[in-house]
A and B are shown apart, each in its own frame.
Chain A
Amino acid sequence: MRLAINWFKYSAPTTFYGLAGKMVPYFAWPAAILFPIGFYIGFFVAPTDAVQGEAYRIMFIHVPASILSMFIYLILAGYAALGLIFKTRLSAMMAAALAPTGALFAFVSLWTGALWGKPMWGAWWVWDARLTSELILLFLYLGFIALQASIDDPRRADRASALLAIVGSVNVPIIYYSVQWWNTLHQGSTIKFTGTSMHVAMQQAMFTMLVACWLYTIAVALARVRSIILEREGNTQWVRELKEVRS
């Protein structure tokens, strides 16, 4: 019961603004430390790949960026759905705060994929299931952002973009299973639930980079949602009495 009360307390923008501000460094600093560690393991500890040579090292940024681009979308859609059902203001703001970061990870996934595809497949881009569905994911993010920006009334903007986010979430399992459902050029995942054939240092590098990307995402989304709260709650007393606004 107490847990429920606390949850609702922190789901109010008034309290979450301060809480988010306190939380940012706890995610930002570990991310700033883990990125160089992951890079070090990936480039100085992990051995050269037997098949792909040095080019495989793109994996340590490509795979985490791709995973994040999909996960962030699901979290965004979850927040959007919460906002739609319970009309909680903060949920919609969190969805809006996650969208740019998700779009950037989708872009990084496509960009690093092109730079990996060229030497390995001989093509920057092919219209196969995995690549095309990831491109659609990027467009879904951009559509969400554009829809938010194009409707002046925040409540209507939240509702419209929430619908887009929820409908678009069917694309995420399509991306994930595309390498199994269709005959694609894109390789399947090396790490499976049943184990992996990957060298231990390669696993460590990828896992470290993945955690760093997660921490980065949380830090950036929390920092961004604070600005969104300020933008949307600007006419309220508590925002006007914040010391950073009064000074």
Chain B
Amino acid sequence: MSAADFFAMNGYGFYVWGSYGVALLVFVVEILMVRHRRQLALRQLQLMNESGDAQ
């Protein structure tokens, strides 16, 4: 089986890779969102700490 045959999936390539591609994208985006949320929370807390120290 050649690589082209593999990606063609016997005519179902669009459906198969459309499924796995979007699933992978969803996982990657979620991981980035979780990372972003943590950075945001930490930054907020650091700002609160700094303004607390200034008083």
Q: Which residues of A contact B (CB under 8 A)?
A: 39, 43, 48, 53-55, 57-58, 61-62, 65, 100-101, 104, 107-108, 111-112, 115-116, 118-119, 216, 220, 223-224, 226-227, 230-231, 234, 239-240, 244-247
Contacts and interface: CB of A to CB of B under 8 A. Distances in A.
A62 B15 contact: no
A220 B10 contact: no
B4 interface: no
Nearest to A233: B45
28 contacts: A43-B6, A53-B10, A53-B11, A54-B11, A54-B16, A61-B23, A65-B23, A100-B33, A101-B30, A104-B26, A108-B22, A111-B19, A112-B19, A112-B22, A112-B23, A115-B18, A116-B15, A118-B15, A216-B27, A220-B30, A220-B31, A224-B37, A227-B38, A231-B41, A240-B49, A240-B52, A246-B46, A247-B46
A61 B33 CA distance: 22
Residue among B19, B26, B27, B38 with max Cβ neighbours from chain A (10 Å):
B19
Grouping DSSP codes into helix (H, G, I), strand (E, B) and loop, the B interface class, with mixed when no group exceeds half, is: helix
Contacts of A240: 45, 48-49, 52
Interface of B: 6, 9-12, 14-16, 18-20, 22-23, 26-27, 30-31, 33-34, 37-38, 40-42, 44-46, 48-49, 52
A234 B44 CA distance: 9
Given A61-B23, A230-B42, A245-B42, A220 B15 contact: no
Residue of A58, A111, A223 with highest tally of chain B CB at under 10 A: A58
B34 A220 contact: yes
Nearest to B5: A54
Contacts of A112: 19, 22-23
Given A58-B16, A220-B34, 8 more contacts: A39-B20, A55-B9, A57-B9, A100-B33, A116-B19, A230-B38, A234-B44, A245-B42
